[in-house]
Amino acid sequence: MRSKRKKVILKFSIFFFNQTYWKKDDQIIDYRVAQRAFQNNMDNSLTISGTISLDTGKYTCVATNGLDEDEASAQLVVQGNKIFFNIS
């Protein structure tokens, strides 16, 4: 039996910042390597398609305007067909 993989979309509301980027486990995500991850620059969301257990980790959205920086994080846990979040 083949299990269905799920898509996860992480989105944080960000105001007054002109640049955002995402990190996984404190490392900036390289979208050339992480082919199932995509950052939407229109709403600053991160989409992970076809989640697998290797996607488990701490995801952090970092926003900056050159003078200030802010961040928000969520812990993502993928266990089989189940996905759990802990937002910090």
10 Å CB burial of residue 73 (0-12, 13-18, 19+) is middle
Q: Nearest-CA neighbor of 55 among 28, 73, 37?
A: 37
Separation between Cα atoms, residue 4 and residue 19, nearest integer Å? 34
Helix (H, G, I), strand (E, B) or coil at 54: helix
Query: What pLDDT shows up at residue 2?
Result: 47
**pLDDT at position 51 over 60:** yes
pTM of the predicted model, to two decimals? Answer: 0.83
26-58 burial code (b ≥16 CB/10 A, e <16): eeebeeeeeebbebeeeebbbebeebeeebbbe
- Kindly report the average pLDDT of the chain as a whole number: 85
- Higher pLDDT, residue 6 or 27: 27
Cα(38)–Cα(31) distance, rounded to whole angstroms? 7
Per the model's pLDDT, the better-predicted residue between 34 and 55 turns out to be 55
What is the pLDDT averaged over residues 56-67?
Answer: 91
**Matching CATH number, 18-87, of 2.60.120.10, 1.10.10.10, 3.40.1410.10, 2.60.40.10:** 2.60.40.10
Quickly state the pLDDT bin for 85 (edges 50, 70, 90): confident
User: Residue 10 pLDDT more than 90?
Assistant: no
pLDDT higher than threshold 50 for residue 7: yes
